[in-house]
Structure 1
């Protein structure tokens, strides 16, 4: 869940909403405030309850498991005690769908929460997960495959933009599979193979249809998949996304252990469930031919929250986020647009030479032009550092951690000495492009230092190996002594990158 996102331009009284997800493994709650058309995160609570572990062979939910859930809900209830009942939505998923005595638990839970609880069908769960993912991920052309591995079930959705085309919930989850195949924490190739085959059998029911419909990008959500992604990154198997190769390498690594206690690649509370979750994800990759999977911060509870707020607007959530940052920090929009125009003009002239042809490069440069001055809201002195801090440490809806990191680096490096070593924190594959975008932003910002409404003359920027040539119309630069001095200083700064700036 991200910090803020607009609903409409209409001013409305502040109100609070709470979305609660009673999952098979964990209970989650998100509390958010609606202020003048914006959703602002207020609180997040999450507790590992493992309801699914309390189901016996007859699908009877044990008293111990019920008590774990009820004690968690008592803490949730205190947090939302001042909210009107209509502002709270509570949904239960697979464990309570399966439990034959679920009604008993619901009645006790409703007494605590003083509002109704819903057991939602698997496909409704899948729909809400898809909504949560779409509202917190950048829009994509073509079909998107969303996979969410829960404690008792796995949801798989194919959709285009905000419209699901295929929804499915399969009876396989990290808790139920742990009980079945890794009950004592022992890890063996035989047990892992059995778990994988069981998942493949479940996937057979959707395999042909999903492959026929196809997709252009794949996204995973919730704790199990994020834990697998983090394990892959910590082992150096991938830079950001889960790839088929990284997944296979992680599988081999885990199979080298004899017990879950030996697993150090994930947090302690995730170790027991990792082999089962990994087997399910490996099966999904194999069955559906997945090559790469990104991860989403949004899932079921975010989908609930956005649906409650009536926020089904088909727009790029990142554009909303950037606009909100500009409003929040009182950015000079005219100046931002001037810098944007010059930066994109320069990009268009060097994109081939510098390998900056990906549309995301232009997008990132444009967003940087819009936000590089947000630090002025704190202080003019060192404002580029303030801007970087705000961008790095804010929840920006639709932006991944890596996106925020790049945006912060562009803001940090747009003036003064070039912090070239800071770019080493990026994956190797991103460093060069980000440094080059920073150079373009620096030049554009410098050329508009006087913040004048007078239109800049056309400029010509060319790149030849390590030399940048910046040309202006004849006689123009001689009439701009401040710009001339700034460009001379910039030439000195760029030497640290091995670049020679020639101005004429």
Structure 2
């Protein structure tokens, strides 16, 4: 796969959603502008197929479907809101290449803006299938905006860790994940800005570098120390940090609290860091489907029958 163009923008579509239950006008305007930029880039390329999806913010919002319909009309992009299971499957597809032949199971976490997805995966010689998943309506944006909660204080941070850990423990009881991890052969994998930021800090990168981070197997003790370092920086220190920056400073510690809960419920010696996610999963899916179509034998020609005269 060769990347010919790439574009990303932080739009905070779920801003204010927790309080109002709706996408705000400003958030929809930001997202709409970003989508128009994407549509303009795509219009300059010869395309066979486009996948465009929306996730938790639009699933939760009372006006989520309305926003998607309006965005489709304005941009021409075939946007659709995908269910939580499909979101987990796409994240899984993007990370399959990181599995080794010894990995009989994998636990993948994706800490997003509006939700956190946990995928419990069966590995089979580099292939993967989804055993189970859970989508928690707790993400870095929703937690950062929650009233009377501040992850910059030890009390607020611990509140989030306890809340998330309780929800994850219920999922663990269903699938006995902790027991499986103690037996061995289970890879812990993380994808999202939280875990890639922890990797950047643990590696003491002067600025964030995807090639240095993606696929990195990070010792969890180093990740835990990076978390403590980030917490000690405070808001202003996070704004100035080269692996964080002003746009993400308010969201890093809520993500770290979710990560800390995952570590509490499922202790592991290391975590595989994936700077990949839905976008790469969508590309992997499209390429696989294109390959399947290319191998499929052509259908026999159909001839219209004519009555004898």
Aligned counterparts of 2:202 and 2:143: Cα–Cα separation in 1: 21
Tell me the secondary structure at the aligned position of residue 131 of structure 2. strand
Match of 1:260 among 227, 230, 235: 235
CA deviation after TM superposition for structure 1 residue 201, in Å: 2.1
Q: Is the Cα contact below 8 Å between 2:198 and 2:227 reproduced in 1?
A: no
Q: Kindly state the Cα deviation for residue 155 of structure 1 after the two structures are TM-superposed.
A: 1.4
Equivalent-residue separation in structure 1 for 2:242 and 2:172 (angstroms): 31
Gaps of 5+ in 1: 5-39, 314-504
| TM-score, length of structure 2 as denominator length | 0.79
**Unaligned runs of at least 5 residues, structure 2:** 206-212, 292-309
Please state if 1:172 is matched with 2:138.
Answer: yes
Indicate yes or no: 2:93 matched with 1:137.
no
Residue aligning to 1:211: 178
CA contact (8 A) 1:90 1:118 kept: yes
| Separation (CA, whole Å) in 1 of partners of 2:221 and 2:3 | 36
Aligned partners of 2:91 and 2:281 also within 8 Å: yes
Shift of 1:199: 1.4
CA deviation digits over 1:384-427, x for unaligned, max 9?
Answer: xxxxxxxxxxxxxxxxxxxxxxxxxxxxxxxxxxxxxxxxxxxx
The structural deviation recorded for 1:83 is 5.7
Residues 1:152 and 2:152 are matched in the alignment: no
Match of 1:110 in 2: 72
> Which of 147, 153, 163 is the equivalent residue of 1:188?
153
- Name the CA shift for 1:255/1:84 in 2 (closer, same or farther; >3 Å): closer
Mapping for residues 293-442 of structure 1, pairs under 5 Å: 293-310=271-288
Distance 1:65 1:297 in 2: 25
Number of residues of Structure 1 aligned to a counterpart in Structure 2: 270
> Shift of residue 302 of structure 1?
0.9
Cα distance, 1:296–1:193 mapped onto 2, change above 3 Å: same
Partner-residue secondary structure (3-state), 2:5: strand
Where does residue 248 of structure 1 map in the other structure?
Answer: 224
Provide the C-alpha distance between the structure 1 equivalents of 2:149 and 2:34, rounded to a whole number of angstroms.
25
TM-aligned CA distance change 1:310 to 1:85, over 3 Å: same
Please tell me whether the aligned partners of residues 126 and 157 of structure 1 are also in contact (alpha carbons under 8 angstroms).
yes
Matching of residue 68 in structure 1 with residue 13 in structure 2: no
Q: Cα offset for 1:57?
A: 1.8
Determine which of 214, 218, 224 is the counterpart of 2:194: 224
Following superposition, the deviation at residue 70 of structure 1 comes to 0.5
- Please give the secondary structure, in 2, of the residue aligned with 1:80: helix
Task: Return the alpha-carbon distance in structure 2 between the equivalents of residues 281 and 43 of structure 1.
Answer: 31
Structural RMSD (CA): 2.6
Q: Label 1:61 to 1:109 Cα distance change in 2 as closer, same or farther (>3 A).
A: same
CA contact under 8 A between 1:181 and 1:276: conserved in structure 2?
no
- Tell me the distance in 2 between the aligned counterparts of 1:204 and 1:77: 42
Structure of greater Rg: 1
2:42 matched to which residue of 1?
80
Q: Secondary structure at the match of 2:6?
A: strand
Q: CA deviation at 1:130?
A: 0.2
Q: Which has the higher contact order (CA 8 A, sep 6+)?
A: 2
> Quick check: 2:18–2:146 contact (8 Å CA) kept in 1?
no
